Chain A
Amino acid sequence: MEAAGKRLSARKSFARHWQLYLVVAPPLLFFIIFKYYPMLNAVLAFKDYYVTKGIWGSPWVGFKNFTMFFENPMFGSLVKNTLKLSFYLLLAGFPIPILLALMLNEVRAQKFKRFVQLVTFAPYFISTVVMVSIIMLFLAPRLGFANVFLNHLGFESINFLGNPGMFSSIYVWSDIWQTAGYSAVIYLAALSGIDPTLYEAAKVDGASRFQKIWNVDLPGILPTISIILILNVGNVMAIGFEKVYLLQNQLNIANSEIIATYVYKIGLLNANYSFATAVGLFNSVINLVLLFTVNAMARRFLKSSIW
């Protein structure tokens, strides 16, 4: 990799590559302005923001905004809803792409295999807004397909989206519908990289298809599985705002208000900047700590990690 020879000293590199530094400047500036400057602005969490005084002129208040959040009656339900939704998604959504990839890998009819892949991958391209629109049209209380179908079978209509208990299942299973085919791709690639002599050996030993999956396929993709698992667990608190917000309504709000949607409402709709920043910061920090912990555990116990 370092074939281009010795690493240059800073001065030599600047002299030789000044044009490259010019090229790299605009995108780097983008990161500084839109990614790092906001991190500085996050000091808002420790301040009482006055529009007239600006971020830096506003008085420091220490951890007041955080304690306000912890003592807020919403706190318990926000954390519970966020964690419940993410762990449900993790438990149900993580194994399915693996199973899909293992099954596709058994299919010998190449055309069928490719067609299944093409179709299951497609919903990944549907936008969040369209996804939620489809969910709402299908689950609409009166005209929705699901209820028309239930009525045909002689059942009463169900107000799916108005039922707080159904919110997480609607969220999770529509997500799986949308992304399972996409996520399976990475496992399929890992499966195609397994040493063919292992299959030969399994065949000689008279292994059945299931034994072959269990003893060759699964161990072969275990490193990939553990890396994806780390990434998923590390993102547990970062569950997306976009879809939850669109699926919310007055009836299911008790179970559908998560930290991200709360930050949006308190911060941008109610203009309570400092408090919302504190809540958001709490979320990011927990997430970062989680990611480091999971990564360290994986390095220790699974011998693979993302850094």
Chain B
Amino acid sequence: MANMAKTRNKIRESAGDKVFLTVIYIILALLLIAVLYPLIYIFSSSFSSPTAVSAGRVWLWPVDISLKGYESLFKNPQVLTGYGNSLLYTAAGTLISVSLTIMLAYPLSRSTFYGRNVIMMIITFTMLFSGGLIPTYMVVKSMGLIDTRWALIIPNAVWVWQVIIARSFFQQSIPSELVEASEIDGCTDLRFIRSVVLSLSKPIIAVLVIMYAVGQWNAYFDALIYLKSADKFPLQLILRSIIIQNNSGSSNMDALKQVERQQLAELLKYSLIVVATLPVLIIYPFVQRYFVQGMLVGSVKG
């Protein structure tokens, strides 16, 4: 079918259409380069020697391949602590967020659940209006969460968008006949959730896990406002301090000469970017379809 359409297209293609299509291909190829080039450049720089990076000799591929950037990175206690913290926040945050989201979305998908429309309105209204930064900060403060690890996990645990996505998934994929049949058999709601809902919901759980995990791994704002002690900082805050505020702050470089130290500090920034982004970009091609699914499910019902 697709093949037939292709051959027919070829026959019908007028000269004008060919030019038009060629222009499109050229534009897309240029876009492809514009998106890929910075990524490749960062990656290549991170594997080059400090002097090559500082001299601006890296254009596309690594120059004088070296692992110096990564070596100094893994000797940097700040970075290691940050990495550990981020892993912890991502794991714990995702677990809590996904659980709360499902606990909210599933009952809201049941048509016999009295009050579901009111609850839905209460929740969606928070997408349109919020108390603001300071009032929220004061709530977090009054609960004693400031400068605790919980401050990165609890105050933004549930995203409304995720609830909408999960709810419409449940509405579409759990037939009400199944619910009714189980009720007639005397199956309680909790048992139904445990044994039926959870096993039918693997796709939506995957979507939720990935979206929350990426969000938590990439977040820095809550850490910026709620955390004070550096030993609790997630990786993104360490990155900000080293790259954006330019505090290389590493003691093991003291022995080096001034110039060498500067070059290494520069190289370290590239390696740091790679290390912070790689976990997400590596899983990305495998999970892209879940993201697309999530966006589309949400937009149908949203």
Contact = CB atoms under 8 A, between A and B. Distances in A.
Nearest to A147: B56
B136 interface: yes
Given A133-B243, A138-B38, A42 B132 contact: yes
A3 B111 contact: yes
Interface in A135-163: 136-138, 143, 145, 148
B6 A38 contact: no
A134 B38 contact: yes
Measured as residues with beta carbon below 8 angstroms from the partner, the interface class of chain B is 35 or more
Looking at B54, B135, B158, B281, the one whose CB has the most chain A CB atoms below 10 A away is B135
Interface in B108-155: 108, 110-115, 119, 122-123, 126, 128-140, 143, 154-155
B220 A127 contact: yes
B244 A42 contact: no
Interface in B270-302: 270, 272-273, 276-277, 280-281, 284-285, 288, 291-292, 295-296, 299, 302
B190 A39 contact: no
Interface stretch (A70-78, A81-89, A203-211, A296-304): A203-211
Interface in A104-147: 104, 106-108, 112, 115-116, 118-123, 125-130, 132-134, 136-138, 143, 145
B61 interface: no
A215 interface: no
Nearest to B241: A129
B126 to A, nearest CB: 4
B295 A185 contact: yes
B134 A1 contact: no
A4 to B, nearest CB: 4
Interface in B178-216: 179-180, 183, 188-190, 193, 214
A27 B6 CA distance: 52
Interface in B14-38: 14, 16-17, 20-21, 24-25, 27-28, 31-32, 34-36, 38
Contacts of A118: 285, 288
Contact of A103 (B28, B130, B244): B28
B94 interface: no
B133 A263 contact: yes
Contacts of A280: 132-135
Contact of B135 (A7, A44, A120): A44
A145 B41 contact: yes
Contacts of A27: 100-101, 103-104, 158
Contacts of A55: 138
A3 B276 CA distance: 48
Measured as residues with beta carbon below 8 angstroms from the partner, the interface class of chain A is 35 or more
Given A26-B100, A42-B135, A264-B133, A130 B113 contact: no
A167 to B, nearest CB: 15
Nearest to B242: A133
Contact of A276 (B14, B134, B143): B134
Contacts of A24: 103-104, 107-108, 119
A31 B158 contact: yes
Contacts of B193: 23
Contact of A20 (B113, B225, B272, B291): B113
B93 to A, nearest CB: 13
Contacts of A91: none
A119 B36 CA distance: 7
Interface of B: 6, 9, 12, 14, 16-17, 20-21, 24-25, 27-28, 31-32, 34-36, 38-39, 41-42, 53-54, 56, 100-101, 103-104, 106-108, 110-115, 119, 122-123, 126, 128-140, 143, 154-158, 171, 176-177, 179-180, 183, 188-190, 193, 214, 217-221, 225, 236-237, 239-240, 243-244, 266, 269-270, 272-273, 276-277, 280-281, 284-285, 288, 291-292, 295-296, 299, 302
